[in-house]
Structure 1
Amino acid sequence: MRARARALRARGHNIHSVARSLSLPYTTVWHWCVDRPEPAVFGSAVRCFRCRPEQEPPPDPAAYAYLLGLYLGDGHLVTTDRVPVLRIYCADAWPSLMDACDEAMRAVLAKKVQRIQKQGCVAVQSTATHWPCLLPQHGPGMKHHRPIVLTDWQREILSAHPGHFLRGLFHSDGCRVSNRVVTRGKEYVYPRYMFSNRSMDIMGLCQWALDLLGISWRMNQPWSLSVARREAVAALDRHVGPKS
């Protein structure tokens, strides 16, 4: 209620009109809006869409869906440091993936993004107090050793942007390959997508997003999913495409 009163006041309403519209005493509204204004909010709190008074949707929900897919695949959120650090590990072979990850972090929350060279990969990382607000799936240990469950607000975003979520998942723990089959002495080559993850919860989210788009899939291992039908590959191409 206090946030609503201050929001109305910020839009130019006087104390009387705010008190009347919210059915509050004049002195209460005056105390909230004039006598003791809230301290200024700085840093990532300004950009965190979950910490704004009205719980606004993300400014770029497609970028959030993509970033969440990357995080569930090759991401790690460190919360033991003084300020939380989100790291997404990208193989050296995919420089465009690093750029896409960088852009998604900035679109969602990050003010600055660093790239730290590791052996065979680059850690694209951002330090911000409010990353845990936006990635509630974080926790100690490996992801496949703990439950990975979407919140209601995350499920709403991903339901509207399943293609971007799948793009993040396949860009992290998936690939587009050429499958070769020899039938009656003749070789056939066709593309297919593979997604591998030891977390059954994350695998279930991948299956759910594929079902939302009507893309057929099958499990070739308990931890490995394949999209191989021609029309399914073509549909996934429109949302994911090969890494570069």
Structure 2
Amino acid sequence: MPSVKRRQKQGCAEVKSYSQHWPCMFPQHGPGKKHERRIVLEPWQQEIVDAYPWEFIRGLFHSDGCRITNWTTRLVGGERKRYEYPRYFFTNKSDDIRKLHSDTLDKVGVEWKMTRRGSDPFNISVARRASVALMDAHVGPKF
């Protein structure tokens, strides 16, 4: 029988649970680093993600992502102008986790690009205006 403890904190509820059966619920858990082992959803887990894609996306962004204000400069009429725009980033070393994330973004119509850190494709970037608006409507800021 799992042990569950709940404690109200400012801005959130802290929930802790202890059980020997957690590996049955999260078979992806295991020894070693996530990016060095295979991460695949079980069919019943994929059904939940398919039914609640925005909740899955929100959870991923709130754990390993951020929303920033990006900026660039352009020469307009001989004068340098600064432009700012919102952008979402998701960073994870696991190819499998990034694929689960990008596949789900595709399903909800969010355009994204893979950006690299050196030669490694660690980041998923959402910068197109319509896609950022979708993300703002469904994901929102981290608290």
TM-score by length of 1: 0.51
Q: For the residues of structure 2 that align with 1:168 and 1:153, how far apart are their CA atoms?
A: 18
Is residue 65 of structure 2 the alignment partner of residue 196 of structure 1?
no
Task: List aligned pairs for 1:170-189, cutoff 5 A.
Answer: 170-184=61-75, 185-189=80-84
Question: Which residue of structure 2 lines up, in the alignment, with residue 169 of structure 1?
Answer: 60
Question: Which residue of structure 1 lines up, in the alignment, with residue 45 of structure 2?
Answer: 154
Question: Which residue of structure 1 lines up, in the alignment, with residue 102 of structure 2?
Answer: 207
Q: For the residues of structure 1 that align with 2:136 and 2:26, how far apart are their CA atoms?
A: 27
Letter in 1 for 2:63: S
Q: Alpha carbon RMSD of aligned pairs, Å?
A: 1.6
**CA shift digits 1:24-68 (9 cap, x unpaired):** xxxxxxxxxxxxxxxxxxx23xxxxxxxxxxxxxxxxxxxxxxxx
| % identity of equivalent residues | 53
Q: For the residues of structure 2 that align with 1:130 and 1:167, how far apart are their CA atoms?
A: 26
Structure 1 unaligned blocks of 5 or more: 1-42, 45-82, 84-94, 103-112, 114-124
Structure 2 unaligned blocks of 5 or more: 4-9
Q: Which has the larger radius of gyration?
A: 1
User: Which structure dedicates a bigger proportion of its chain to strand?
Assistant: 2
Secondary structure of residue in 2 paired with 1:223: strand
1:225 maps to which of 124, 127, 131 = 124
Question: Which residue of structure 2 lines up, in the alignment, with residue 239 of structure 1?
Answer: 138
Secondary structure of residue in 2 paired with 1:139: coil
Question: Which residue of structure 2 lines up, in the alignment, with residue 15 of structure 1?
Answer: none
Q: For the residues of structure 2 that align with 1:197 and 1:126, how far apart are their CA atoms?
A: 26
Deviation at 1:190, TM superposition (A): 0.6
Letter in 2 for 1:231: A
**CA shift digits 1:159-218 (9 cap, x unpaired):** 011100011100010000000111111111110000000000000001011011010000
**CA shift digits 1:123-161 (9 cap, x unpaired):** xx4312332221110100110010000110000110011
Point out 4+ residue stretches in structure 1 off by more than 4 angstroms: none
Q: For the residues of structure 2 that align with 1:132 and 1:240, how far apart are their CA atoms?
A: 28
**CA shift digits 1:96-127 (9 cap, x unpaired):** 4xx26x4xxxxxxxxxx3xxxxxxxxxxx431
Letter in 1 for 2:19: A
Q: For the residues of structure 1 that align with 2:38 and 2:25, how far apart are their CA atoms?
A: 17
Is residue 21 of structure 2 the alignment partner of residue 130 of structure 1?
yes
Number of residue pairs the alignment of both structures matches: 129
User: Which structure dedicates a bigger proportion of its chain to helix?
Assistant: 1
Letter in 1 for 2:126: V
**CA shift digits 1:60-84 (9 cap, x unpaired):** xxxxxxxxxxxxxxxxxxxxxxx9x
TM-score by length of 2: 0.84
Query: Which has the higher relative contact order, 1 or 2, with Cα contacts under 8 A spaced 6 or more apart?
Result: 2
